Structures are given as structure tokens and as C-alpha cells.
Amino acid sequence: MKLSHKDILPLGDAFLVTRAMPSGKRPRILHTHDFFELFWVVNGKVKHHINDAIHTLSEGDMVFIRPTDAHSLQGKGAEPHLINIALHPHLIAAVAKRFPQLSGQFFWSEAAQPTVLHRDMTQLSQLSQNLRALDPAPRDMLTAEALLLPLLTQLSAQSITTKMPEWLAGACQAAHAPEVFQKGAAGFVRAAGRTHAHVSREARKHLGCSPSEYINDIRMEYAARQLSASTDTLAEIATDCGIPNLSHFHRLFRDAFKLTPNAYRKRHQRDVIQPA
């Protein structure tokens, strides 16, 4: 199967963001496309069927898919989540023309398999914040470059961040489970196994936010995936997030994405992750 950007991207759009939970069913066929894709695993593990090979991807793994890559994704284990960005071929061509130093890297690699890089918890958190900040903006070339170019610059420079304590990294991973994020900051602190004050200090140092803010980010990412991929009502999604107060849920979602939940659903509900 070959997907076309004319079918996936609305007229005039340079990119499309999809938050997905791939099913565990083995794909019957692989697909190619005439556009580029960037995706990363937010939580859990994903089997990537790619160019006659199968690779297991874990949280933080980021993949640069080229149009010639035949691939499909399959969830593995509990709660596999990923973010996918479909990118217009004209956008990638323009970036390559302006920045020839990127030749042979990322989308422009000529290797048999696509480039796979890893982002740590701090980098994933920052990337998610950047993505949400741009979400209400027009999906034009300028907005796409505002996200893509800083990322490529960081990856090219092999930026180094302060190593996060293992207990905090473990809490960050555990926080993606519903039984943890539904309990809010208290669930995060319990998963960390440290005092609330100590967890708060270390979270601000390594994640740039409080435990409550970190958990709410995860809740809103979960809500966004549900809005994109399910027909659940807003009340059901809010309850699944651990936020039974619907007005509070609306407020948090608007703060995160600068869109109402209904507007987000209308804008993002497309299936490009596991096309039938």
C-alpha cells in the first residue's frame, strides 16, 4: 500500500501530528508513502516492521522514515504510545536545499534501514512541550520548521543533558500507566519512592516542572490520543485521565493545546499509523 500526502495532509498543510496507541495485531501488509514521517515512542514498546526486518523500539526511540521505507507498526505489551508527524515532501526538500550539511543524515540517509536515535526523559518532555505549543498554530512550512530545525540542530550537535537519577527515570516511565497518572502527583511521588519535597526538587531540576505539571502533561497527551483514535465521550476520557471534573479537564486541555477537546478531535482524527 502506498499513502499519498494529498490524502493525508489537508490542502496547504505542511505536516500532520498523530498521537496513537498501535494495536498488538501483526500487520498484514506494509505501506510506503510519498511523504516523510518522524515518530517516537512515548511509552511502552513497539515492533517496527521495516524493510524486511523487525525492530523492537522502546520509550524514547525516534525514527526518521523516508518515502522508500516499507513499514508498519505493531504494539507490544501494555500501553504502547507514540507520536507521529507526517511531513510534506516539499518541506523536506526545502530543508535539504538550504542546509546541505544535513546530507546523508536523518531523512537523507541512504542506509538500508532508517535512522533511529534515542531521546532521554528530559528531551522527550521538552519535545512534547514544544509540540503542544505549536499545536494551535497554522500547519504551514514556518510552523513545521519551528519544530523540525531545532530538533535536527540538537541531534547533529549530539547535545548532552545532565543524567537523571534512575529512581526519577523509573517514576517518569511508571507515570504513563493509567493507575499512576489517574492519582495525579501523589501517584508520581509514590512511584518515585522518595519524599514529595525531594521529588519536586529533582523534577524541577531534570524535567523543568513540578510532579503535578508532569502528570498533567501525561494526562493531556493521553486525552489527545483518545480524542484522535477513539469515539469515547469527553466525560469518559476525562474520567480515564483521573479528572472527573469536566470543566477542570477542559481548562487543562486548553492550556496544553490551545484548543478545546472537540476542536482538537476534529483537527486530528485520522489513521495514518496502522492504515487498513
Q: Which amino acid is at 96?
A: A
Determine contact, residues 77/28, Cβ cutoff 8 Å.
no
Is residue 82 helix, strand or coil? strand
Least confident of 117-121, 247-251, 261-265, 272-276: 272-276
- Strand bridging mode 53-58 / 15-20: unpaired
Tens-digit pLDDT profile for residues 126-170: 888 888 888 888 999 999 999 999 999 888 865 444 577 889 988
CATH number given to 166-266: 1.10.10.60
Domain ranges of the chain: 2-160, 166-266
Neighbours of 186 (CB within 10 A): 13
The strand pairing partners of 47, in sequence order, are: 56, 74
- Strand bridging mode 53-58 / 36-50: antiparallel
Task: Return the CATH superfamily for domain 2-160.
Answer: Jelly Rolls (2.60.120.10)
C-alpha atoms less than 13 angstroms from C-alpha of 77 in its C-beta half-sphere: 12
Neighbours of 209 (CB within 10 A): 16
Please determine whether the domains at 2-160 and 166-266 fall in the same fold group of CATH: no
Averaged pLDDT, 43-48: 92
Joined grid coordinates for residue 216 = 498533567
Mean pLDDT rounded to a whole number for the chain: 89
The confidence band for 223, taking pLDDT boundaries of 50, 70 and 90, is very high
Joined grid coordinates for residue 62 = 525516534
Residue 193 region, left (φ>0) first, then alpha (ψ -120 to 50), else beta?
left
* In the block, residue with C-alpha cell 507526517: 86
Averaged pLDDT, 222-243: 91
